[in-house]
Every structure is written in structure tokens, then in C-alpha cells.
């Protein structure tokens, strides 16, 4: 791997300090032309290349559009993006890694927290153009034999994902509005009474006192510790949300400490910067200061001491509704709260948080650095701060996932892909995004199952469960004011039981593949072209994805469709999964020939594929209501393969080791 250094690069967290990948400093950059430009008053580095007709461009993690990124414009500038249109240039994360796969093959990682724009055959220009709004940059160039090998080398550079506990592979139920005992009890009852397995319930901002971080609403939630203990006995964990902004409220311990320590982001004059988010006026923690991270991480103690072992971090782009400057409205949703809090405000500016990002600063090594310059690292450093606290406070592994991210944050927590909506387009986007995220190290990830915005329906939720059964993070989440979306909210639950059961039967495989990929710095979800690089047809097939070593999924992505076309790049084992009338799981395995097929997929069934000669494992704990009731060693082989290499541990130890891999055969398991 080659490293090119421009100017004096900002130290990001992308590269794993323990990486043993060999990196050689070089001066002459092949493949890309370098020029200079001034963009938004900023001296910028521009990299260009003419793409050949058949070149495929992979990567960019959390971005819209296809697996092949050609045809799009993508702006790495972390944004609270409530509408995921195809053409939306910026989402919550900045993942500046691309792979060009053609006659010449190489990967490039642009390591800078500044804004980076990728125009990739945008409007059929045939050109790749990468604009880095900085003159200080580390550029990593990876030359390997294939897109897969290039990605693997990159994963060796950036290191493994954080280790979620086993229970984080169970199903989560969430909804904006869940805030206390009543909600939790209702959801628990809904799942249990319908015999739908579940592992955790998320609490959204409603559990807090007036949306203030690290507080609880004592009316709705009189005793979090007691509720958490009661639920844990039933195999259910509670996962509360934490937002980035700290409410300006003298007397509040977190606020007082933050102010006293100088841990808040400041204006040019050194005073804390005010911006309104859910709690009203807040200050943004200055996660760039190690002491501020330490302080922020400590704040979780109040919740972890009540038995909480998992969190989701939100609003950390950071999202801004309204700021002390100009009085402009910065975000859509802010209206709900902001109109109430600031009825007299004047709306002057454009609808964008963008200008505010130039108005506050971080203290970095004794200097004030404009937020805009390092924007893409903000949420990632919040993840680092939280992980630092949880590492100390939680016994064993913790669950943590964030909305905003930068490559490197994957070593501290996962991400979810933000505010999608209940549409088939978003279901498809969920599938397309997963391999790109895997390339960038984010393997503990998933989308809001069922869709966040808009109203879901029975059919869509079933189809979504059939996809998210294969993503490590599987959480049903929906927005305030949308239709209820729990798996028991759409009448007869038989089909939901079948689909959630599949997830639980697959947990030993998913978990084992997750751990092996992590240990070996391998991809977890892959474009099928990565496995069949010489197959032109596979190269153009994006609605099928590899999951772990030997599974290929091809979910139904169209409304009212009970069939779909599937392309098999080689002979494969087709698995038809369903439950019998009495609730016994059935996996019918059939060998199918290479080529195109039509599969029938009723709403209560799932069809997936296993590579020929391979076997996977499925759990034999067929009645488990949560991972608590599962033993990962209770598995059997599925498929014609003679054995499967299972990664097996207790699901909570923090050490990963090759020794934990055992061979499972039909006769049983051997170490």
C-alpha cells in the first residue's frame, strides 16, 4: 500500500494504530491527475481520471444510489438528511474510500475530515473527479489483484469493527415516542404474547426530562434501574438514545462540568457556541479534546449504573435546528420545538446548518480550529467518547451505534443508516448500501426495518424483515406520528413469527461470520461480483448480495410481487424457508443450475442461496424468545457441504482469537 502526503494532514482516526499492513511513502501518484482549485474560498486538491466504459467504481459506504457508484455526485459532509432521495449528495457519514475495477484496478482512500466531493461519471461525463476542500491530506493507494483483495487490504489498514454482544444480533424494537414503563411493557407484551422473539427495546428522546441528555423523565420512567432489571430477566435489554447537544441549564451537572472544564465548542471569541436542538439552546461538546471525550464518556455512568448496556447516539453531525446567529432556521423538524421555544424568531437565512458549521471552533492542540474544516470527524469522535466510557462502565461488551460517522469510528461502535422511509425504494437502498459499508469497515450496521418516515404496511414490513434478517443490526424503528409498526401491529402474526424466527435460526451463522470477518479483516456483505469477478453478468447484478462466506440473498423488492428473477453465477443450493402449521421451521434445499431463474416467494417465506459444496449452520434452539435462551453451540448443518467453520465464544468476551473457531460436521463439532 502506498501513502501520499499533501501539506500537513489532520490526524484522523481512520488508520488502526495496531495495523500491521505495510504502508510505503511515495511521491509520484499513478492513475490520477492532480490539480489545484479554489472551492468555497478554500484552496483545494482535485484528482481526476478518465473512466473506461466498463470500469466499475465501488465504495463510499453510506451513500445513496447503486453498488456501482457511477452516475452520481456524492459529497462527504455529514448531514442530518431527513429525505433519502436518490440524488441526495450527503448523508450522515463520510466514507472516502473508492475502488476502481477495470483493466486497471486500484483503491484510494482520501483521509481528511474536510469536505470531499466525488463526481463519478456524473451526468455521463465519463470522468472521475474528487475534490478535496483542503491542501492537507493523506491519500492511500491500494493495488491488489481484485476489488475484493483491495477491500481486504483497506480493512487491514483501518482495523476491525467493535465487538457487539451476542444480544445485539437479536431483533430490536424501537419507535420515536417510546419513553417509559408503559411503552416498554406494551411492546414486551406484544412480542411475547405473539411468540415473536426480541432482544432489546430502544428508548427515544421521550425518555429524557425535556430532552436533556443523561436525565430521565421521572413521570414516564420512575425507576429505570427497576424496569431494566425486570426486562433483563425476560431477556430484553433497554437501549436509550443520547443526542450530541448539551442543554444550557445551569444547575445541571453535565452542563456545569462541561462549562467549567471548557469542554464545549466555542465561537471565535472563545465563548461557547449556542445552537438549538431538541432541548432548546445547547452547547456542542468539543469531542476533539481528549479531556472532553473523557468527561462525556463519564456521563453515561448514571445510566449504565442502572443496568443499561447499550446506547444509540443521534444528532451528531451535528444537527442544528436554529442557532444564535442570524436567526435562521437550520432544519426541517426543528419547527416542532423551535416554534414553541422561539416564537418571535426571525427567519432570514437559507435552510441549512451549513453556515453555522463555519461559526464554531474546536480546541485542538491549543489552537482554535474551525468546525467546518474538521466537520466529518465530529460524530465519530462522539462515538470514541461514548465507547471510552462504556468500556469502563459495562462488564463485557456493550452495544453502541451512531448516526454520524467517519471511517475509524467502526472500531468503537456501529452505525444505523438514519431516517429512511417506508417505501420499496428505501428497502432496495438498504440492500445496495450494505456492501459499500462493509468495504469501509462498518459491519455492525443496518437500516430502520420497516422504514422510519411514512406509513409502513404489513407486506412491506414482512419484505423488510426478510432482508434485515441478514444484516447484523436488525431494528424495527419508525417516526413519531407514523402508523404503528411493531411486528404485532398488522393483524395475524403468523408470517411475522416465521420471519423473525428465521433471523434467530441464522444468528449462529451471522454471528460466526461477523466474528470471522472481523478477525480476518474480511468483508461481511459483498457485491456478488466480488465473488465472481470474471462474470460480466454478476458485475451488473446489484439486487443480490453475498452475506458471509457462502450465502447469497435476493430479497423481493417490489410491492405486491410474489416472485422475483434471480441470477445464479454458478450452480447453487436454493433454500426455501418456511414454518409448518405447528411452527416447525423447514429448510427445503434444492440444487439449482447456473443462470437465470424465477423464484416464488410468498410473504411468509424466505428464499436464499448457499454456494455449491458449502454448508451453513442454523440454530437448533427453535423456540428461543431471545438470544438469552440460545446456546451458540446448539447448531446443525444446512446444505450439502460436509462441514462449517464456526466461531464460537460466549458472546461477551472482548478478545477475538482463531482458537475460537471449531469445525461443525454432521456428526457433531470438533475443536
Instruction: Give the residue with the Cβ less far from ligand MIG, 157 or 315.
Output: 315
Q: Nearest distance from residue 477's CB to ligand MIG, in Å?
A: 6
CB of 81 or CB of 638, closer to ligand MIG? 81
Positions of E strands within 297-422:
310-314, 322-323, 361-364, 367-370, 399-402, 405-406, 414-416
Closest separation between CB of residue 352 and ligand MIG, Å? 15
Minimal distance, residue 85 CB to ligand MIG, in Å: 16
Q: Are 105 and 134 in contact (CB under 8 A)?
A: no
Q: Which residues make up the interface to ligand MIG (CB under 6 A)?
A: 176, 204-205, 241, 314-315, 333, 403, 418-419, 477
**171 or 618: whose CB is closer to ligand MIG?**
171
Work out the end-to-end distance of the chain between its first and last CA atoms, rounded to an integer number of angstroms.
Answer: 36
Range 551-568 burial, b when 16+ CB lie within 10 A, else e: bbbbbbbeeeeeebebbb
- Beta-strand relationship, 474-476 and 171-173: parallel
Taking alpha carbons only, the member of 416, 610, 609, 632 closest to residue 511 is 632
Q: How far is residue 274's CA from residue 283's CA, in Å, rounded to a whole number?
A: 5
CA distances from 380 to 253, 303, 388, 433, 529 (A): 24, 21, 12, 19, 30
- Taking the least distance from each CB to ligand MIG, the nearer of 133 and 419 is 419
The smaller minimum CB distance to ligand MIG, of residues 341 and 669, is found at: 341
Residue 92 CB, shortest distance to ligand MIG, in Å, is 8
User: From residue 332, how far is each of 81, 336, 423, 482, 540 by CA, in Å?
Assistant: 10, 9, 21, 17, 37
Q: Which is nearer to ligand MIG, 419 or 649 (CB)?
A: 419
Q: Cα 521 from chain centroid?
A: 17
Nearer to ligand MIG, 95 or 477 (CB): 477
Helix, strand and coil content of the chain, in percent to the nearest 5, comes to: 25, 30, 45
**Which residue number, 71 or 82, has a Cβ lying nearer to ligand MIG?**
82
Nearest to 463 by CA among 490, 509, 419, 424: 424
> Residue 577 to residues 335, 499, 580: CA-CA distances in angstroms?
46, 9, 10
Least distance from C-beta 314 to ligand MIG, angstroms?
5
For ligand MIG, the closer CB: 180 or 527? 180
Shortest Å distance, C-beta 171 to ligand MIG: 17
Q: What angle do CA 191, 195, 197 make, to 5 degrees?
A: 65
- What residue spans of 402-547 are helical by DSSP H? 424-439, 458-468, 494-520, 528-531, 536-539
Which residue lies nearer to ligand MIG by CB, 401 or 532? Answer: 401
Minimum distance from CB of 205 to ligand MIG (Å)? 4
Closest separation in Å from C-beta 303 to ligand MIG:
16
Cell of 450: 420497516
Nearest approach in angstroms of CB 413 to ligand MIG is 15
Least Å from the CB of residue 204 to ligand MIG: 5
Residue closer to ligand MIG by CB (options 240, 272) is 240
Return the number of the residue (204 or 486) whose C-beta is nearest ligand MIG.
204
Residues counted in the chain: 671
Phi-psi map region of 609: left, alpha, beta (phi>0 left; psi -120 to 50 alpha): beta
Nearer to ligand MIG, 389 or 418 (CB): 418
Tell me the closest approach of the beta carbon of residue 436 to ligand MIG, in angstroms: 20
Q: Cβ 566 to ligand MIG, closest distance in Å?
A: 33
Under DSSP, the state recorded for 269 is T
Backbone angles phi, psi at 611, to 5 degrees: -55, 150
Q: Decide: helix, strand or coil at residue 344.
A: coil
Q: How far is the CB of 356 from ligand MIG (least distance, A)?
A: 16
Give ∠ CA 496-448-408 in degrees, rounded to 5: 135
Q: How many CB atoms are closer than 10 A to CB 666?
A: 10
Nearest in space to 521 (alpha carbons), one of 126, 108, 155: 155
Q: What are the residue ranges of helices labelled H in 252-328?
A: 253-261, 290-299, 301-304
CA dihedral of 608, 614, 616, 620, whole degrees rounded to 10? 110
Q: Which is nearer to ligand MIG, 205 or 575 (CB)?
A: 205
Question: Helix, strand, or coil here: 261?
Answer: helix
Nearest distance in Å: CB 312, ligand MIG: 8
Q: In the complex with ligand MIG, which residue's Cβ is closer, 12 or 216?
A: 216
Tell me the residue number closest to ligand MIG, measured at CB: 176
Q: Nearest distance from residue 504's CB to ligand MIG, in Å? A: 24
CA dist 539 and 529 (Å) reads 5
| Shortest distance in whole angstroms from residue 401 CB to ligand MIG | 11
Query: What is the 3-state secondary structure of 113-159?
Result: CCCEEEEECHHHCCEEEEEECCCCEEEEEECCCCHHHHHHHHHHHHC
105 vs 403 by CB, closer to ligand MIG: 403
Q: How far apart are CA 355 and CA 371, in angstroms?
A: 11
Amino acid at each position: 500500500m502506498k501513502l501520499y502526503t499533501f501539506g500537513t494532514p489532520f490526524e484522523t482516526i481512520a488508520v488502526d494504530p495496531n495495523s500491521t499492513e505495510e504502508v510505503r511513502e511515495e511521491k509520484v501518484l499513478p492513475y490520477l491527475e492532480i490539480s489545484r482549485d479554489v472551492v468555497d474560498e478554500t484552496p483545494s486538491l482535485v484528482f481526476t481520471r478518465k473512466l473506461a466504459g466498463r470500469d466499475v467504481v465501488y465504495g463510499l459506504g453510506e451513500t445513496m444510489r447503486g453498488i456501482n457508484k457511477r452516475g452520481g455526485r456524492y459529497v462527504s459532509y455529514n448531514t442530518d438528511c431527513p429525505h433519502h432521495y436518490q440524488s441526495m449528495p450527503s448523508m450522515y457519514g463520510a466514507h472516502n474510500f473508492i475502488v476502481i475495477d477495470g483493466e486497471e484496478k486500484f483503491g484510494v482512500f482520501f483521509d481528511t475530515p474536510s469536505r470531499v466531493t466525488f463526481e463519478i461519471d456524473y451526468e455521463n461525463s465519463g470522468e472521475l473527479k474528487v475534490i478535496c476542500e483542503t491542501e492537507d491530506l493523506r491519500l492511500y493507494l491500494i493495488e491488489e489483484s481484485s476489488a475484493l483483495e483491495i477491500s481486504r487490504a483497506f480493512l487491514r489498514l483501518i482495523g476491525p469493527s467493535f465487538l457487539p454482544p451476542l444480544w445485539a444480533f437479536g431483533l430490536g424494537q424501537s419507535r420515536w415516542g417510546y419513553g417509559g414503563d408503559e411503552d416498554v411493557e406494551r411492546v414486551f407484551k406484544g412480542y411475547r404474547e405473539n411468540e415473536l422473539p426480541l432482544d432489546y427495546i430502544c428508548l427515544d428522546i421521550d425518555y429524557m426530562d425535556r430532552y436533556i441528555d443523561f436525565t430521565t423523565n421521572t413521570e414516564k420512567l420512575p425507576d429505570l434501574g427497576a424496569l431494566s432489571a425486570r426486562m433483563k430477566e425476560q431477556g430484553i435489554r433497554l437501549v436509550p438514545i443520547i443526542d450530541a447537544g448539551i442543554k444550557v441549564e445551569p444547575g445541571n451537572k453535565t452542563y456545569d462540568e462541561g462549562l467549567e472544564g471548557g469542554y464545549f465548542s466555542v465561537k471565535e471569541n472563545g465563548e461557547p457556541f449556542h445552537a438549538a436542538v431538541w432541548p432548546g439552546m445547547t452547547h456542542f461538546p468539543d469531542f476533539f479534546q481528549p479531556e472532553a471525550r473523557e468527561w462525556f464518556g463519564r456521563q453515561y455512568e448514571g445510566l449504565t449504573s442502572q443496568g443499561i448496556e447499550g446506547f444509540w447516539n443521534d444528532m451528531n453531525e451535528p444537527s442544528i435546528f436554529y442557532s444564535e446567529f442570524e436567526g435562521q432556521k437550520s432544519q426541517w423538524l426543528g419547527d416542532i420545538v423551535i416554534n414553541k421555544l422561539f416564537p418571535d424568531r426571525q427567519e432570514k437565512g437559507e435552510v441549512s446548518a451549513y453556515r453555522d458549521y463555519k461559526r464554531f471552533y474546536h480546541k485542538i492542540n491549543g489552537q482554535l480550529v474551525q468546525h467546518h474544516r474538521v466537520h466529518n470527524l465530529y460524530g465519530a469522535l462522539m462515538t470514541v467518547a461514548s465507547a471510552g466510557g462504556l468500556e469502563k462502565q459495562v462488564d463485557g461488551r456493550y452495544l453502541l451505534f451512531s448516526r454520524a460517522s467517519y471511517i475509524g469510528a467502526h472500531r468503537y461502535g456501529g452505525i444505523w443508516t438514519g431516517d429512511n422511509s417506508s417505501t420499496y425504494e428505501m428497502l432496495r437502498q438498504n440492500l445496495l448500501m450494505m456492501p459499500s459499508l462493509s468495504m469501509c469497515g462498518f459491519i455492525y450496521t443496518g437500516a430502520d426495518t420497516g422504514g422510519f418516515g411514512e406509513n409502513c404496511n404489513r407486506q412491506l414490513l414482512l419484505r423488510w424483515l426478510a432482508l434485515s434478517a441478514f444484516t447484523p443490526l436488525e431494528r424495527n424503528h419508525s417516526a413519531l406520528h407514523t402508523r404503528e409498526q411493531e411486528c404485532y401491529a398488522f393483524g395475524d402474526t403468523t408470517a411475522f413469527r416465521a420471519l423473525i424466527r428465521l433471523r434467530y435460526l441464522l444468528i449462529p451463522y451471522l454471528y460466526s461470520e461477523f466474528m470471522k470477518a472481523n478477525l480476518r479483516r474480511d468483508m461481511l456483505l459483498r457485491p456478488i461480483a466480488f465473488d465472481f469477478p470474471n462474470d460480466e453478468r454478476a458485475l451488473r447484478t446489484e439486487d443480490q448480495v453475498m452475506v458471509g462466506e457462502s450465502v447469497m440473498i435476493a430479497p423481493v423488492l417490489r410491492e405486491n410481487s410474489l416472485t422475483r428473477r434471480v441470477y445464479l453465477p454458478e450452480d447453487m443450493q436454493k433454500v426455501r424457508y418456511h414454518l409448518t402449521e405447528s411452527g416447525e421451521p423447514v429448510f427445503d434445499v434444492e440444487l439449482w443450475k447456473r443462470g437465470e431463474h424465477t423464484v416464488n416467494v410468498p410473504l411468509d417465506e424466505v428464499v436464499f442461496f448457499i454456494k455449491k459444496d458449502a454448508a451453513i449452520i442454523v440454530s437448533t434452539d427453535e423456540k428461543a424468545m431471545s438470544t438469552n435462551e440460545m446456546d451458540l453451540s446448539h447448531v446443525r448443518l444446512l446444505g450439502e457441504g460436509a462441514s462449517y467453520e464456526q466461531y464460537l465464544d460466549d458472546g461477551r468476551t472482548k478478545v477475538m482469537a482463531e482458537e475460537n473457531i471449531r469445525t461443525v460436521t454432521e456428526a457433531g463439532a470438533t475443536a
